[in-house]
Structure 1
Amino acid sequence: MISVHGIHTIDTGFVRPRFDAAYLIVEKGRGAFIDCGTNLAVPRLLAALHDAGITAADVDWLILTHVHLDHAGGAGELIARLPNARLVVHPRGARHMIDPSVLWAGASAVYGEAVMEETYGRLRPIPVERVIEAADGHVVELAGRPLLCIDTPGHAKHHLTVHDKRANVCFTGDVFGLSYRDFDTASGAFILPTTSPVQFDPAALHASIDRLVALKPAAMYLTHYGRVEHVEKLAADLHAQIDAMVELARTAHGKPDRHVVLMESLTDLYLARAEAHGWNRGRDVLRQLLGMDIELNAQGLEVWLDR
């Protein structure tokens, strides 16, 4: 577990190593988690408290960037283990944490009950009195350390970003894309946008990225995965790819094999950009590392097209 400015990066163990992160901020002996992964990550999060020198009773907050299950699936189980903590979540996501039945039903319809149980574990409701809805501009105080919640739609309508003013960094969930360490080269971090199957909005995503860059943060902490710097360069890469992805979607629209065409064209896009970045492990390895993300991006673009 790495710590900078009291920020601890925790690998939740979801999918593969260095794929899905949660974060623990410690200030003056008090703690706040940002995102939590799935139920299966809860033992890792509790172990991180021990490593950071605090206890479960010292945690005041669990802040969710959004309620997709790789970020929030373990929220109910974790809150049950943190006697003094409250949950902070976007107003559009709060009801799904209080009563996760609709969230569970929607995901189960796609993946099936058995896969859901194995991958995420049963979702546990959070008592309404422990849930705080964070509208744009809401400030969470962690022992005098302000954590600003910023409404950042584009990936999802219920997405917020946390700006830690003390460290001058942002915890971006999925709105600032994906950057796996497997793609790091001498040129630094490689980044790509992530859509979502139902709420991708390219114009909103562009605006959210610009809003975060305007804060001039020293770094971004991504759920997938970890701390990245050179924020303005990465933002430019994201903007260019959002536009390219939208164009690929429009080109594929109306074709009988639209999904297959879009999957292949997205793979071509990411491979070309990765190779230009100095990454040369080939198409098959890229598909192994990005297969799930390419599938989700294709689905997100198709839902956007149909909408």
Structure 2
Amino acid sequence: MVRLTVDLIAKSSSHIRKKGDRSLPDYLRRLTHLNFSNRSIVDIISRISNLGFACRLTHLYLQNNCIGRMEDLCQLQCLAKLYLGGNCIAVVEGLERLTKLKELHVENQRLAPGEKLLLDPRTLLCLADSLRVLNISQNAVDEVWDLGVLRGLTHLSATDNLLQHVQDLEEVFSQWPLLQRLDLIGNPVCQKPKYRDSLITACPRLEVLDGKEINDLSRQFLVNWKASKEASKEASKEASKEAGKRARVERALAAQAPHHPFLTHLDTALSRGAVLSCSLANSLPRREPLKGPGPHGLPRPPDPSHNSATRDHSLALALRASSSPGLCPGALGDSNAL
């Protein structure tokens, strides 16, 4: 295993050939690009302080080593591009002073089973305005809420992760007005219905999604479709509100109706009329039907006048009672008087 030190830089033939006649300290102060990919560097954290001399360093390549933590990189305040893919980093942190960092590549970290890459909120907040490119592919990432502050992003690569919910992506990506390229291939969310349509409408400046270009005609169609859908949803919501209001008013009227004086008086009158009609109908004398044989010795037919007269008499009593609410059963006297 190797540690990153000044001596390692000095012994690197690729750098020594470039320094020419300059002294080593002078050369190191002027250094802008440093490439130590695939060198099995063990502990960049405790040794990265040795790069404090490289105040002009803009590009740092440390892919495919054994780096486990990120600290003390804050000394590289001119750093614009940082490549740390293929290491063992579980938390992206310690970049609070790198206000000029434009690209951060931390893809494919060798994490323990069940772990996922985390990004420190303080680091993300400090990179919110400067960071343009972020690569977090193949890191078991299952949500992107913390990335919402990166409003300056133009390119996000998050392939082969565990992202699942289209709505969550819409809410976060809609906060990035400059987003032009988005790569999410290999996530479960890519199989969801309307996944592509939803992200295109959520990101107004998106040009490429999962390697496929987005033409203006397709975008305009989807924007119009979304606007129509939202208008229909809003109309349905308003109709539902109105229906709810009407239902509440009807319930309120129904609750108050039994206590209205006029309705109470009318109900009482009708009830008394019904009672009187039943009572009087039962007290009427019954007309005996004609008995004996009819003409020519044939059976006599039933007398229709009997039932009709009784029915008419009862109806007249009921109508009179219902039109006089103050009457009571005793006030009518003998039924024969009617």
Q: Return the TM-score normalized by structure 1.
A: 0.27
Between structure 1 and structure 2, the one with the greater Rg is 2
> Which structure has more strand as a fraction of its residues?
1
Indicate the structure whose relative CO is greater, using CA pairs within 8 Å and at least 6 residues apart: 1
